[in-house]
Amino acid sequence: MRPLPVVPLPQTDELLSSWLHRVAAYYLTSTEHLLAHIGGREVDPRSLDDDPGPEDLRAIAGALHTDIPTLLARTFAGTAAPVRAFVALGGRPRVCQWCTEYFWSKGMRTVFLREWCVAFATVCRRCDEPMNRWNLRRSNWPDWSEAEWAQQRAFELCVALQPSLLHAEHAATVGRIMTALATPVPVPPRGRRVKQDRPALYQSSMYRYVARRRADVADHTRPFASWRAEAQLVTLCFLGDIAYNRSFWEEMIEYDLIETDDPDLLQALLAPVDTDWRAQ
């Protein structure tokens, strides 16, 4: 197929599906119809963000006047499996406030950047501004000031946890810990009326409120990045509070939810962060 006569320029760090969506909008068609017209096999743009095939890459590169390495840089192809637990291609609970306002002012309300999909991302690659805003609903919080505090606290923890995504083994450790916090465990009998198993996260009053509001809570069967923004926030805050609680992690080890060395790595990652509950 011939290259498209007009192709809107991509934004810095723009996700491939976002760019394709804007190209399709220019021609007053859907992204699926555009991909079918281009001649690739895949018509789901989200699949292209994950693992595009060689035929699709050749077709898209030819149609959009670019090359395959440039397209791959706008996807998460080749990302290690443990790291993928912290990449949300569908939910995107993180955004950059400054870039979002700019895009909206230019009428580009559908632009999504690649870094916005990374759960522990702290700086927007396009504008280099701190990315400490989550998409939250006020109705899911008893006090909005508490939500603002949680965002700032979670941002500090993301700064400490982000380097773990550079190492697949470290990412696997953090992934196990997040799953352990959300996995239902037997509720201890000390003064609790609830008899059924509950995740360890229920020790957090913020998490209990989010769960009562019927918002999507942390799901131990799904990767961390797919959880709703509220669940990510309270999990990060709770993780910072209990990072140095030896008895808690020993219990998680007894349940075979984490490995023996996992708490040591977590403490090493969070060492730069001031933690009020650090063991003396």
**Domain containing 46: what range?**
1-78
Q: What is the pLDDT of residue 279?
A: 42
Q: Is residue 163 part of a domain?
A: yes
61 shares its domain with 175: no
User: In the prediction, which pLDDT does 229 show?
Assistant: 87
Q: Identify the helix (H) or strand (E) that includes residue 185.
A: strand 184-185
Q: Residue 90 in contact with residue 46, Cβ under 8 Å? A: yes
The pLDDT value given to residue 216: 64
- The amino acid present at 219, given as its one-letter code, is D
Residue 210 lies in a domain: yes
Check whether residue 144 and residue 258 sit in a common domain.
Answer: yes
Helix, strand, coil fractions of the chain, as percent rounded to 5: 50, 5, 45
Phi/psi of residue 190, each to 5°? -75, 85
Considering the domain architecture, whether residues 39 and 153 belong to the same structural domain is answered as: no
Q: What is the mean pLDDT of the chain?
A: 88
Q: Given 35, 60, 78, which residue is the final one in a domain?
A: 78
Q: Which residues contact 127 (CB under 8 A, 6 or more apart)?
A: 96, 98, 99
Backbone angles phi, psi at 114, to 5 degrees: -60, -40
User: Would you state the pLDDT for residue 82?
Assistant: 95
Same domain, residue pair 256 and 171: yes
Same domain, 147 and 218: yes
Phi/psi at 14 (5° precision): -70, 140
Residue 97 pLDDT: 87
Q: What is the pLDDT of residue 1?
A: 65
Parts of the chain with a pLDDT under 50: 276-280
Residue 94 lies in a domain: no
Radius of gyration of the chain (CA): 21
Do the beta carbons of residue 41 and residue 56 sit within 8 Å?
Answer: yes
Whose structure tokens read 């927007």?
Answer: 124
28 domain-assigned: yes
* Whether residues 162 and 261 fall in one domain: yes
Q: Count how many domains the chain has.
A: 2
Q: What pTM, to 2 d.p., does this model score?
A: 0.86
| Predicted local confidence at residue 190, as pLDDT | 53
CB 17 within 8 A of CB 48: yes
Q: How high is the pLDDT of residue 280?
A: 37
Integer Cα distance of 123 and 253 in angstroms:
34
CA-wise closest residue to 134 among 179, 165, 88: 88
Of 170, 154, 247, give the one whose Cα is nearest residue 207. 154
* Residue 27 domain-assigned (yes or no): yes
Question: For 48-63, b where at least 16 C-beta lie within 10 A, e where not — what string?
Answer: bbbebeeebbebbbbb
